[in-house]
């Protein structure tokens, strides 16, 4: 029997829209799911934004204050797509109100924040799903199975990259993203958090790391009005960029494998260049987000001069079959959020976690904190 679940979205910038659209699409791609999301409320502090969202998407109520969502008994589950510095406060309040949460990474500014939200979810007995969307790509699921099967032998090393130009323009506005108190660790929380999650998802736990960070654009203009996404600002008062544009990190895994994780938000010429290269004693596997449905795979017994083949993922890989009937049909970013929404709703329906959880967020945040400490001290930092 299908039952209705009242959902709300807090924070209606681009990510809030993506969550809302994912809720709308879930029944079409996963018709066997026993829950159907109903859009009850949307909250955003920017004047008029919540009202526009309600008019466009059909939310029953629009609010400026997210606390009204926490107090609404019709809301049983909440998407938290607000800025990073609000994650802890909103996450705690929603969990304490008995609401399941789908929260965007990095779940606050520190590992302490992520752990607090995780503990609150556990104490309340609700489900918590985290927005590590790249692990949901069917090709990533296929790569994980390939690695686990031993087809490329024992993993020796991995390189994970997350390069983007969203902050490369010198006129990019000095929004909360560039402030330590509101944006946390900059590109570490924004992009490297995904890299840590991919590293753990593919290769297991990280034992220790050492990192170097940099700020390449040290000053930006303050915006004069409300912002969404990566707004440009000219003529405003210049202020300092307080958090990292770039991080380079060496990883040691519990398995004995080694890794390199590199992330940058000011890489001119790079648009969403995210991916990984995993090497083993018998082969390798390669993935590029911009060619999301493909894997480069090298396997066999040649070792030297062994070729790499392009493999197109298909209905047997991850959740691909919910979207396309045959291999090499394209999927997109928004499809990954539909997969996340499905995991979230299935977790609630079956009272069992599916997909990335708050425990994963805690592990990722702990690694980010360790990167910051390592960059300050110039030393290796162990991960407990």
Domain that holds residue 71: 3-130
Instruction: Quote the CA–CA distance of 314 and 320 in Å, as a whole number.
Output: 6
Check whether residue 48 and residue 76 sit in a common domain.
Answer: yes
Count of domains observed in the chain = 2
Could you tell me the CATH number of the domain that includes residue 378?
3.30.360.10
Boundary residue ending a domain (77, 111, 130): 130
- Model pLDDT for residues 65-83, shown as the tens digit of each residue: 999 999 999 999 999 999 9
Does residue 83 belong to any structural domain of this protein? yes
- Distances in whole angstroms, Cα of residue 348 to Cα of each of 80, 102, 155, 266, 317: 16, 11, 35, 38, 24
Q: Please check whether residues 158 and 284 belong to one and the same domain.
A: yes
Domain assignment present for 347? no
Do 91 and 217 reside in the same domain of the chain? no
- Are residues 27 and 42 located together in one domain of the fold? yes
**Looking at 29-33, 36-40, 235-239, which range is the least confident one?**
235-239
Mean of pLDDT values over 335-356: 98
* Residue 336 resides in a domain: no
Residue 338 maps to a domain: no
pLDDT of 191 strictly over 60: yes
Q: Answer yes or no: do 153 and 231 share one domain.
A: yes
Q: What is the DSSP letter of 48?
A: T
pLDDT at 223: 80
Residue 74 lies in a domain: yes
State the Cα–Cα distance between residues 334 and 332, nearest whole angstrom.
6
What sign does the dihedral 349-351-355-361 (CA atoms) show? positive
Where a domain ends, among 130, 162, 187?
A: 130
Residue 227 has pLDDT above 80, yes or no: no
Q: Within this chain, do residues 172 and 313 fall inside the same structural domain, yes or no?
A: yes
User: Between 14-29 and 333-350, two packed helices, what is the crossing angle to 10 degrees?
Assistant: 70
Q: Are residues 149 and 54 in the same domain?
A: no
Classify residue 356 by its DSSP letter.
S
* Over residues 89-98, mean pLDDT: 98
> Both 166 and 301 in a single domain?
yes
* 313 and 242 within one domain: yes
User: Looking at 48-57, 178-187, 340-349, which range is the least confident one?
Assistant: 178-187
Domain shared by 214 and 318, yes or no = yes
CB of 297 within 8 A of CB of 142?
no
**What is the percent of the chain where pLDDT is above 90?**
94
In a domain, 182, yes or no: yes
pLDDT in tens, 254-294: 999 999 999 999 999 999 999 999 999 999 999 999 999 99
> What's the rounded mean pLDDT across residues 306-331?
97
């Amino acid at each position: 029997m299908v039952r209705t679940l009242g959902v709300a979205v807090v924070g209606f910038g681009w990510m809030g829209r993506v969550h809302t659209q994912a809720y709308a699409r879930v029944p079409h791609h996963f018709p066997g799911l026993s829950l159907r999301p109903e859009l009850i409320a949307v909250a955003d502090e920017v004047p008029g934004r919540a009202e526009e969202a309600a008019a466009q998407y059909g939310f029953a109520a629009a609010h400026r204050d997210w606390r009204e969502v926490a107090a609404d008994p019709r809301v049983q589950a909440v998407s938290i797509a607000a800025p990073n510095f609000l994650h802890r406060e909103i996450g705690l309040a929603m969990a304490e109100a008995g609401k399941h949460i789908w929260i965007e990474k990095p779940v606050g500014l520190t590992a302490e924040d992520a752990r607090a939200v995780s503990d609150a979810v556990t104490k309340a007995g609700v489900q918590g799903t985290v927005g590590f969307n790249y692990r949901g790509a069917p090709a990533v699921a296929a790569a994980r199975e390939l690695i686990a099967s031993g087809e490329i032998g024992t993993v020796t090393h991995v390189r994970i990259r997350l390069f983007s130009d969203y902050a490369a323009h010198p006129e990019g506005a000095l929004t909360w993203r560039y402030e330590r108190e509101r944006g946390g660790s900059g590109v570490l929380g924004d992009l490297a958090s995904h890299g840590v999650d991919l590293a753990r998802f593919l290769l297991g736990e990280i034992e220790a790391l050492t990192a170097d960070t940099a700020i390449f654009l040290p000053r930006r203009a303050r915006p004069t009005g409300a912002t969404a996404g990566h707004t440009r600002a000219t003529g405003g008062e210049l202020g300092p960029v307080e958090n990292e544009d770039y991080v380079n990190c060496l990883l040691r895994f519990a398995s004995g494998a080694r890794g390199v994780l590199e992330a940058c938000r000011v890489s001119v010429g790079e648009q969403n260049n995210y991916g990984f290269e995993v090497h083993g004693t018998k082969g390798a596997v390669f993935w590029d987000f911009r060619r999301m449905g493909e894997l480069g795979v090298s396997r066999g017994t040649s070792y030297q001069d062994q070729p790499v083949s392009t493999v197109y993922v298909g209905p047997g890989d991850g959740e691909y079959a919910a979207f396309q009937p045959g291999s090499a049909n394209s999927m997109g970013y928004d499809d990954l959020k539909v997969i996340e929404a499905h995991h979230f709703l299935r977790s609630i329906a079956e009272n069992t976690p599916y997909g990335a959880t708050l425990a994963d967020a805690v592990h990722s945040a702990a690694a980010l904190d360790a990167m910051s400490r390592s960059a300050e001290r110039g030393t290796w930092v162990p991960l407990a």
